[in-house]
A and B are shown apart, each in its own frame.
Chain A
């Protein structure tokens, strides 16, 4: 898809060989029904393999332990990882793709010295942004941080803090000035998770996993030195951290959907039969649906190819990343829904969840429900559609109504 990528055959061979050497062929069996401890130790092992190979923070500058991979090189890396059926690196996403960019962009030299080596060493971080009453409307968040000499006192509650119970640190958005308009009075902090006054409770999600948590903060003391960027500038700092590297990571997700999602569905249909005993794959309605899905998954790949090409040639992604997010998440969910429907009753059997597998665990019903993580997380698709309508088409904002009860 991308001409610029063709030049990196050497890297492709390297990653492919590494995957063949490193990824245990039976990792899915190992992780089927794994408890939290088994999940975590496998995740840590996998993270260490990535660190050792230089694939953990491939896009980072060399001085912080990265490989300074260009965007096309990252495309190759993530494609090959997906092709090699690599497990998901679930424990490092916040540290590498949310915390680190903020620290690099807005952190002081001392903060960078303190945090970046820890992140590249594999420290687990969580993200304290959403609150029970501040989900899609994140800017209405109520967690308070009050300055008191050389520290802040924090009180409030965060939710959907993935990996919070295993995290060493948290990037936290808290209100430092309640008197100015919503976005303006928010600051970004690094909060050490072993500080007194933090209580973490895991939340079981709809597929029964407990990756994300509620985090309660009662008079938590955060040194003023942990403020990232200027006081009350946290909103802007956190928005900056949505880096282009994350757009490239999507290439890997598209490849996974193509191979493990669509590929597995096509493979499975060959095993299934119709009520009259004839092969499901000969049924015209089944064939039509699969033919349509085949094309839609290719379109995802083409769409990402175009986005990454624009990124490489012109830098930056605009609101088209919202288009990709909506299309990817809804296609993922639809594909899994169709698999569930086609398989019929056997799809309803309970199977042990394959930890570390991401959104293509090879259990259609599980993956269908789990796909809500994508249609809701990272900004619900409804909010994404508002963004597309307002930023791409320039449609007027809704008429404001007076604020309701808090």
Chain B
């Protein structure tokens, strides 16, 4: 289902109003040292508003609206530096479930996720934070009908808040994706401390964790494809989040240079400030279209074909990630001394976008991923990056 322009604006407006009120700077700061890092009442409200379900298929209990229309809620969560598992669970895990080959298991977990009774995280990265089959930190041994996990998954978003995890693991026959009950024996969840304190992530360590073949969301031979889908969803989630941060940082910096006087004039009248902020406008406007394109391409209801999906997601991840990081770096500088203090929010914004740059693959890796997709195909010039309705000529 697609929404009309006014309906989409309505969703974005609701999100802006709620989060302005409920995730103010003071509220964000009050959660910085909180073990869970989010306000459970706000999470419940966001779930009630359908933010976790709207973009998921009806077979999972979702509302079946394209992510191309609902993406503004995830942008707004970045803007308001919201922590907590909603984006990880609904967007990344939800999207992986929607794409998982084991439909009955995916739909069972998906409906718990949508109902808000269970939060699901996705574990891909190993020790070095890579999102590739070779980089996985968990191994699966399949013996008969038993699946045994060992090793450690690192950088697992919102691990402590999750009841379940989708764990990607190596086997002798390729990658598998396993649905893991985090309360079960044989798995230990530990929080990791990050410089970005607005969100949480941790490790999942497996020692003697056993489950059945029924809990494979993707069997050997199917897992690598699903892993790629997970990377695209995570990459897009990071791009949306950074874009929201970049937009508000541009607004706040513009406001600041208008009211900060030095040499008897607002510093915003100096051309160096103007050009820096004009560059920020460029970065925001170019990022906006990249984010929308990626949201359309990874939409769990109607994802683009894998190649177009990955092109759009990797382009958004690398371009928007770098653009918003540069914008926030420049913005801290534009604020001068006050921007370098703990009490000012600039460092919170900067740390968040720097974390977003690193999660789900670095910009460098994503640019190479684009190259791998386009350089080795004969018709590179004719490939469109997303699968949404195209100018008809493109397909011919």
Using a CB–CB cutoff of 8 Å, the interface residues on chain A facing chain B are 1-3, 5-6, 9, 12, 16, 79-80, 83, 258-259, 262-263, 266, 269, 281, 284, 287-292, 294-296, 298-299, 302-303, 305-306, 320, 323, 326-327, 382, 384-386, 388-390, 392-399
Shortest A359–chain B CB gap in Å is 17
Using a CB–CB cutoff of 8 Å, the interface residues on chain B facing chain A are 254, 257-258, 265-266, 268-271, 273-275, 277-279, 281-282, 285-286, 288-290, 292-293, 311, 314-315, 318-319, 364, 366-372, 374-375, 380-381, 385, 389-393
Determine the main DSSP class of A at the interface with B. Answer: helix
B375 near A287 with CB under 8 A, answer: yes
Partner of A397, one of B269, B282, B314, B375: B269
Q: A295-B311, A389-B281 are in contact. List 15 more A-B contacts (CB 8 A).
A: A262-B381, A263-B380, A281-B375, A288-B364, A290-B371, A292-B370, A294-B315, A299-B286, A306-B289, A388-B278, A388-B282, A393-B277, A393-B281, A398-B269, A398-B270
| Closest partner residue, chain A, to B275 (CB atom) | A385
Partner of A263, one of B270, B369, B381, B389: B381
A295 near B271 with CB under 8 A, answer: no
A302 near B392 with CB under 8 A, answer: no
B-side contacts of A398, CB under 8 Å: 269-271
| Closest partner residue, chain B, to A281 (CB atom) | B375
A284 near B374 with CB under 8 A, answer: no
A-side contacts of B293, CB under 8 Å: 298, 302
A396 near B266 with CB under 8 A, answer: yes
Ranked nearest first, the 4 interchain pairs of A and B with the lowest CB-CB distance are A295-B315, A291-B371, A389-B274, A291-B367
A287 near B372 with CB under 8 A, answer: yes
Alpha-carbon distance A386/B278, docked complex (angstroms): 7
**Which among B268, B269, B274 has the highest number of chain A CB atoms within 10 Å?**
B274
B281 near A392 with CB under 8 A, answer: yes
A-side contacts of B385, CB under 8 Å: 295, 298
Alpha-carbon distance A269/B374, docked complex (angstroms): 13
| Closest partner residue, chain A, to B375 (CB atom) | A281
A-side contacts of B274, CB under 8 Å: 385-386, 389-390, 395
Alpha-carbon distance A299/B273, docked complex (angstroms): 25
B-side contacts of A269, CB under 8 Å: 375
A-side contacts of B371, CB under 8 Å: 287-288, 290-291, 294
B-side contacts of A302, CB under 8 Å: 289-290, 292-293
A295 near B285 with CB under 8 A, answer: no
B285 near A303 with CB under 8 A, answer: yes
B392 near A389 with CB under 8 A, answer: no
A291-B367, A291-B369 are contacts. A389–B278 as well, Cβ < 8 Å?
yes
Shortest A87–chain B CB gap in Å is 20
Alpha-carbon distance A302/B270, docked complex (angstroms): 32
A6 near B392 with CB under 8 A, answer: yes
| Closest partner residue, chain B, to A289 (CB atom) | B367
Alpha-carbon distance A136/B257, docked complex (angstroms): 25
Partner of A395, one of B257, B319, B380, B381: B257
A284-B368, A291-B368, A326-B282 are contacts. A382–B381 as well, Cβ < 8 Å?
no
A394 near B367 with CB under 8 A, answer: no
Shortest A267–chain B CB gap in Å is 8
A1-B390, A398-B271 are contacts. A266–B375 as well, Cβ < 8 Å?
yes
A-side contacts of B389, CB under 8 Å: 3, 6
Alpha-carbon distance A5/B290, docked complex (angstroms): 20
B393 near A80 with CB under 8 A, answer: yes
Alpha-carbon distance A298/B297, docked complex (angstroms): 14
Alpha-carbon distance A141/B104, docked complex (angstroms): 74
B-side contacts of A83, CB under 8 Å: 393
B-side contacts of A258, CB under 8 Å: 381
